[in-house]
Every structure is written in C-alpha cells, then in structure tokens.
Amino acid sequence: MRFREIPKNQIEWRTDLELRNDVYSNDLIAFLELAPLKNFSVFGEISYRTFSIESQNSVSAQVIHKHVNLDVSGLNASLVGIRFLPFEFLGLNLNWEIPSDNLYSEKFHSISPEIFFLTSFSSRLKFLFGIESKFYIPKSEFQKGNEIGVFLQSHFYLTKWTIDYLLEFQQRIKESRNKRLADIYQKQNDQFSALRFKTGIWRELFKNTLKTDLGLHYEFSQGLLYAKEPSHRLEFSARVLW
C-alpha cells in the first residue's frame, strides 16, 4: 500500500517483513521522486525480494511444523508514475506497474489512474480521499480483470512526529478470462475484493537543507483479491527530502 502525497523531491529506502498465504518474505525497496515544478513530479520504485520461507503445518498423530525455503529472490515488479496537483485541493496520479520474472511478483503490466481530494481540519490534521482504477494490459493467453478502489488517508502532525492512517477497499469489477479455453469456460469467477489498512509514524531527525525522517508502519489486508488469508506486514523506512 502506498500513501498518496503532493509532489516533492525525496528519496526513500524501505525494508519489510510480510506474512502472506503462509509465506514469510522480505523486500528491499528504493523510491525516488523528483519535482521540477511545485505541482508536478515524476517517480519510480524498485524492490528486491531477499527471501521467501513457507510455513507448513501437518496434522496426524501430532502437529508438525515445517519451514521451507522457497529459494525465491530477485526483482519484484517495478513502478513508475507522475503526480500532478492542478489545485490545492485536487491531485492526480498515474502509475505504470512493470512486471518481473520473480515467482511472487505481479505478471501483468498495469496502468492505474487515481484522483484524490485534500482537505485540512487544522494545521495539524489533514485528510485525503479518492478513487483509483487499475487496468491490466492483456496477454495473448490471459486477460486479468480490471479493478477499482476507494481510499481514505489522514496525517496528524506533532512536533517532529507524524502519524499516518490509510484505509483502502478494492474490488475486481470484471472477471479474468483464460483465453486458452473454449469461450464458455474462459471466465474465471474471480470478482474478489480486499480491505486493507495501514498505519504508522514518522520521526523527524534533521531539518536543515535536507530533511531526514525515520518511519515504522504496520499493514493489514483481508480479502481474496490480495490473499487467501489475512496478511500482515511490518515496514521500516528512511527518507530524505529537499
């Protein structure tokens, strides 16, 4: 999950520990955003999977716990995009997700336009809410179903601290199609949904020419669109802004 932001110059490094479908994994993530104009920026993100370990439980006469190293490492899907803030209260994002050959990475190119609105209740409390769509570029043998989502985000600012919240609901609005099958069997009956929540804090360390922050965030996801079982993710971050 990504927090939506106004255009800015920043570089961010993240590492995480995730439990998803009984698989524990770690990613190393680098994010760069450049804003040549006050209301416009371009950004890119790459991530590298360092390990994936599957937890297996077998119940017979006794409960046996096994941990299997899946030997999965390498680049995950990458992301490039633009942000545009035509008005102080209105923002637009356009994201392009680029797949990789990693076993657990997304396998389809996708384009995601987003529109969001910003409002402030005070100098300390800001809200952002919006709508996103995700359009998958089809392959010759498979068409992944498009998705739509809504999100609500808030930031509470204290002296040298920022508390973040993000709530997001996603729904697949069109069934995927397996084009290798006969027409009557192509629909995959996968109009799933997912509810996801992310919260955390940023701590400001320095604020001179370069502003440096450290962050800690927790993410929870439930719904078949994302995983078969509830998923948990803990993320550590560092960023520099100028």
User: Which residues have C-beta within 8 Å of that of residue 133, sequence separation ≥ 6?
Assistant: 112, 113, 114, 146, 147, 148, 149
Task: Write the burial class of residue 159 (CB in 10 Å: 0-12 exposed, 13-18 middle, 19+ buried).
Answer: exposed
Would the pLDDT of 105 be above 70?
no
Would the pLDDT of 62 be above 60?
no
Would the pLDDT of 155 be above 80?
yes
**What pLDDT score was predicted for residue 75?**
87
Would the pLDDT of 104 be above 70?
no
Q: How confident is the model at residue 45 (pLDDT cuts 50, 70, 90)?
A: very high
Please give the residue that has the higher pLDDT: either 136 or 100. Answer: 136
How far is it, in rounded angstroms, from Cα 146 to Cα 134?
6
**What are the structural domains of the chain?**
10-56+70-241 (2.40.160.40)
Would the pLDDT of 160 be above 70?
yes
How far is it, in rounded angstroms, from Cα 198 to Cα 219?
4
Contact 147, 133 (CB under 8 A): yes
Specify the range with the lowest mean pLDDT, choosing from 93-107, 121-135, 195-209, 222-236: 93-107
Specify the range with the lowest mean pLDDT, choosing from 34-38, 83-87, 105-109, 206-210: 105-109
Q: What is the mean pLDDT of the chain?
A: 91
Please give the residue that has the higher pLDDT: either 123 or 72. Answer: 123
Specify the range with the lowest mean pLDDT, choosing from 28-32, 101-105, 204-208: 101-105
**What pLDDT score was predicted for residue 65?**
54
**What pLDDT score was predicted for residue 200?**
97
**Average pLDDT of the segment spanning 1-30:** 94
Q: How confident is the model at residue 13 (pLDDT cuts 50, 70, 90)?
A: very high
Nearest to 47 by CA among 1, 12, 78: 78
**What pLDDT score was predicted for residue 154?**
97
Task: Determine what percent of the chain is predicted with pLDDT higher than 70.
Answer: 91
Nearest to 227 by CA among 125, 119, 104, 122: 104
